[in-house]
Amino acid sequence: MTEEKARVLVVDDERVVREGCQRVLKGRGYEVLTAENGQVALDCLLREQVDVLLLDLKMPIMGGEEVLEIAREKYAAIPIIIITGHGTIDKAVECMKKGAYDFVTKPFQIEQFLLTINRALEKRRLEQKARAYEEERLKNLYDLGLEKSRLRTIIHCIPNGVMVTNRNLEVVLHNPALTRILEISTPLDGPTPLSCVLDNPTLMETLRQIQSGQWPADQFVSQEMICGKRSVRALSAAALGPGQEVVGTVTAFEDITAFKQLDDMKSDFIHMVAHELRSPVVSIRQQNSILLEGLAGPLQDKQKEILNRGIKKVDQLIELINDLLEIAKMEAAQQIQHRVPTDMADIISEAVALIEPRAKGQGIVLEWACDNVRPIQADPKSLTEIFNNLITNAVNYSPEGGRVLVSAKGFNEYVEIKVTDTGVGIEPDELPKIFDKFYRVKHKKTRQVLGTGLGLAIVKKAVEAHHGAIDVESVPDKGTTFRILLPCIPDEGVM
């Protein structure tokens, strides 16, 4: 409410008083309503919003005292200022005891008159603010109580375990699922030391690091752990206070035992099927090769063409079987790696030499360069497979007249290897998926390129098995660059 919009009701049986008040108040920006007696004033209060009531005591039909009594009951928020003559000041004081805010005497002193009205309006403003604050406070208390109840209900109904710790790494909130997943038999009453709840030093250290601010506040940390016969995934993050300071930690525990068992069954199934398929498929290829070489009798050109096509399809199937076996071994952590000091230049040169004839046949320039590359501790066979995959892909997805460059360069304790082509590129929405198993980039220019969709998945797992990292950058219709970082063997004397 502002002074310009404040509405004053003047109730007086004397016209000159009503008009005088109206003239003075309108000149100060007030809106003024008038009434010649108490009954007209009450009718006006029923229809209109009024901020201050100026009320004469002596009026016909209904006097000011009766209006005061009714207004105090029905319109308690409106401040009432009594208009009185010098002879009725005692009566005005008595009215103040009954609830009137103040009184002014006739004839009015304009400054004193306006000051009294302003004070009454200020009182109304403060009371309105106080009521609003109180209503907001009660609403907030109600909402807080409701939210607490909802939060407690939600947390208790969540099938995953929830654990919240405070600044002292004491468990202050948990749900029944936590005690079930972590197989906690004793009740957790009140703040409980973390060591009484967890028996996993790695996770406890992670929570300490989160609490101390060593992890970014907006970052989640995922870890897997064994709890009895259960496989559990823990997802931890910082609990932030009003000032975004770390006040504790929040961890969600998911029982992934069934998923682990299913994954093991899937790997066993793939391994079994691949093994069972490889022997008859290899046998079919050998028999077709015998026919193609003429060892079972001469063949006509058309028959040779059909057999060549069949052998190509069999080779694709063998490649798929081998890739399935390779990915199954990696996922089951059964791949045997014989890591020895390995010269990256030798690996790259051999891979380039192997694929160069194919590149020339497709009209593609294949080049390589190495600069300041220290040896790495690696499995040469695995590295060879990595670069055979990447270089073959680069050649396959490059048009005639294209260029493929393989480069390796040393950077402190890492070696950076890039495989860059000038091929069809990869659309931005497909980049996050290219390392997924069986995913192949869809492009009208590369429909003729054959593959299983497992090559890049194998490359990524092999790179990570060497404690390295791989990423990709691509511009559609301009080319793609795969970038690998692998740790070098430290120089002697370097820690």
pLDDT in tens, 225-234: 888 888 889 9
Q: How many CB atoms lie within 10 A of CB 435?
A: 18
- Which candidate, 98, 100, 7, places its Cα nearest to that of 56? 100
The model carries a pTM of 0.45
Residues of the chain above pLDDT 90, percent: 11
Q: Is the pLDDT of residue 122 over 80?
A: yes
Which residues pair with residue 8 across a beta bridge? Answer: 32, 52
CATH topology of domain 3-131: Rossmann fold (3.40.50)
pLDDT in tens, 28-55: 888 999 999 989 999 999 998 899 999 8
Phi, psi of 425 (to 5 degrees): 75, 180
- Which candidate, 482, 481, 467, 278, places its Cα nearest to that of 382? 467
In angstroms, the CA 165 to CA 250 distance is 7
Q: Is the pLDDT of residue 408 over 60?
A: yes
Which residues pair with residue 173 across a beta bridge? Answer: 164
Q: Is the pLDDT of residue 254 over 60?
A: yes
CATH number for the region 340-487 comes to 3.30.565.10
More confident residue, 442 or 359: 359
Q: Is the pLDDT of residue 331 over 70?
A: no
Dihedral over alpha carbons 210, 213, 219, 222 (to 10 degrees): -20
Give the pLDDT score at 173.
Answer: 85
Give the pLDDT score at 419.
Answer: 93
Tokens standing for residue 117: 């009205």
Q: Is the pLDDT of residue 333 over 60?
A: no
Give the pLDDT score at 3.
Answer: 47
Q: How many CB atoms lie within 10 A of CB 352?
A: 18
Phi, psi of 9 (to 5 degrees): -105, 115
Q: How far apart are the first and last CA of the chain?
A: 73
The residues, ordered by sequence, that sit 6+ positions from 129 with a Cβ below 8 Å of its Cβ are none
Buried/exposed code over 161-171 (b: 16+ C-beta within 10 A; e: otherwise): bbbbbeeebbb
In angstroms, the CA 14 to CA 400 distance is 106
Contact 165, 178 (CB under 8 A): no
The residues, ordered by sequence, that sit 6+ positions from 101 with a Cβ below 8 Å of its Cβ are 79, 80, 81, 120, 123
Give the pLDDT score at 406.
Answer: 92
pLDDT in tens, 58-113: 888 898 888 888 888 888 889 998 888 766 778 878 888 888 888 888 888 888 88
Give the pLDDT score at 34.
Answer: 92
* Burial status of residue 253 (CB atoms within 10 A of its CB: 0-12, 13-18, 19 or more): buried
- Which candidate, 426, 428, 422, places its Cα nearest to that of 478? 422
In angstroms, the CA 287 to CA 176 distance is 64
The residues, ordered by sequence, that sit 6+ positions from 89 with a Cβ below 8 Å of its Cβ are 103, 105
Buried/exposed code over 202-211 (b: 16+ C-beta within 10 A; e: otherwise): ebeebbeebb
- Which candidate, 457, 368, 377, 386, places its Cα nearest to that of 414? 377
- The CATH superfamily label for domain 158-255 reads PAS domain (3.30.450.20)
Q: Report the chain's mean pLDDT, rounded to a whole number.
A: 83
Low-confidence winner among 168-172, 317-321, 326-330 (lowest mean pLDDT) = 326-330
Give the pLDDT score at 493.
Answer: 41
Low-confidence winner among 162-176, 228-242, 323-337 (lowest mean pLDDT) = 323-337
Give the pLDDT score at 334.
Answer: 47
Q: Is the pLDDT of residue 352 over 50?
A: yes
Provide mean pLDDT across the span 422-436.
85
In angstroms, the CA 356 to CA 345 distance is 16
Provide mean pLDDT across the span 326-337.
58
Length of the chain: 495
The amino acid sitting at 219 is Q
Evaluate the omega torsion of the peptide bond into residue 107 and state whether it is cis, within 30 degrees of 0.
Answer: yes
